[in-house]
Structure 1
């Protein structure tokens, strides 16, 4: 992987928000920024690739390449974002039952380079499928027990990275929502949201598409 950040400007609109975000990120990491005027090279290897996220096309084709062929983290910056360099937290969407190590490491690294930013790690969970059909409703003690188990799962997943990035403050958060909704509810005023992308998924995936359709902050999609 080359220590460089790639971004893109189209032939008609310069994408100032996207280029500005990428420029700031390159300065934080002390790596070069390379601005592309055409399609993304199929052999691109970079620290990250930064693209504009247009509201009229919330699921971008990634500059002519299918997502599954790109090995670098892709950051999608919503159009009209404006200055966001001083927003506080980095939000990480974690599936504690099927964690994405590359996404977790990337999110911790993003919080560290921002110096003092908190990593807000969010794990979404669901009640058992038969819970709504219980004759007397869901006992509160059962819900509390299940939630405690989810909290422990998240803590166990994050423990190695909390040791590796000891200087990063971490908020562990377990929420009874869908994964996309959990991240969206936590990322209204954040610097960046980070999620993983399975190598088994040819496109962006349903969770990623839902998140991109509603996000108000840049979203990093990190391949596994």
Structure 2
């Protein structure tokens, strides 16, 4: 079966916006578009899909009801990126960039590769966000964290992210990259820095439940969310 973009779900589940986004993506990648109107995607077809796109109604997003909730728990069967598009989202302008959430201590290579390739295809900048927290020893300091210590810790995080991205920058030399290391929780950091993005990308471990980051991005974000299995 040829590679394709797979659209999952009916328009009543937010599929209208998802179908529009998938159509644009298929045109961008020069791939055929396939539509599965069932409640759950055809996993045999999904194995040959470059990505699956599914819709989500605003009511479901607010309530935290994620589409295809069983998909991540089917180990070994769901291997392509899943793009969730909340119904009612406007089609992004061509100038919107791609935002990638990365844990520099445990980077998800599949998500990084997907984000770089998405930015390359669109001819836009890739904004990479690494959220970090102060080490546990900071809580034991009686007079707060000295600025010199904070700067040292932050410099270390910057270096970690640079090391993770170095081979990807070499592989995609034409993709401009903005690296951001922020002292926020991951959800807050990505929502803030993806406000003007056309797409936000995060990784996901197969078999794991939907995390707070994905739920927050779908519920409160302003663009489609690509969840890439590790």
User: Is the shorter-chain TM-score for this pair beyond 0.5, marking a shared fold?
Assistant: yes
Number of the residue aligned with 1:49: 52
Matches within 5 A, 1:116-135: 117-135=124-142
Contact 2:99-2:201 within 8 A present in 1 as well: yes
Contact 1:125-1:178 within 8 A present in 2 as well: yes
Cα deviation code 1:46-77 (max 9, x no counterpart): 10001112222224231x74223321100001
Unpaired runs of at least 5, structure 1: none
Unpaired runs of at least 5, structure 2: none
- The TM-score with structure 2 as length reference comes to 0.89
Counterpart of 1:96 (choices 93, 104, 127) is 104
Matches within 5 A, 1:27-106: 27-38=27-38, 39-43=40-44, 44-45=46-47, 46-58=49-61, 59-62=65-68, 65-69=70-74, 70-106=78-114
Number of the residue aligned with 1:198: 205
Number of the residue aligned with 1:211: 217
The two structures, once aligned, show a CA RMSD in angstroms of 1.8
Contact 1:111-1:118 within 8 A present in 2 as well: yes
CA separation in 2, counterparts of 1:165 and 1:114? 13
**Higher-helix-fraction structure:** 2
Q: Displaced runs of 4+ in structure 1, greater than 4 A?
A: 11-14
Question: Number of paired residues?
Answer: 221
1:183 aligns with 2:183: no
The alignment partner of 2:42 has SS state of coil
- The TM-score with structure 1 as length reference comes to 0.92
1:221 aligns with 2:230: no
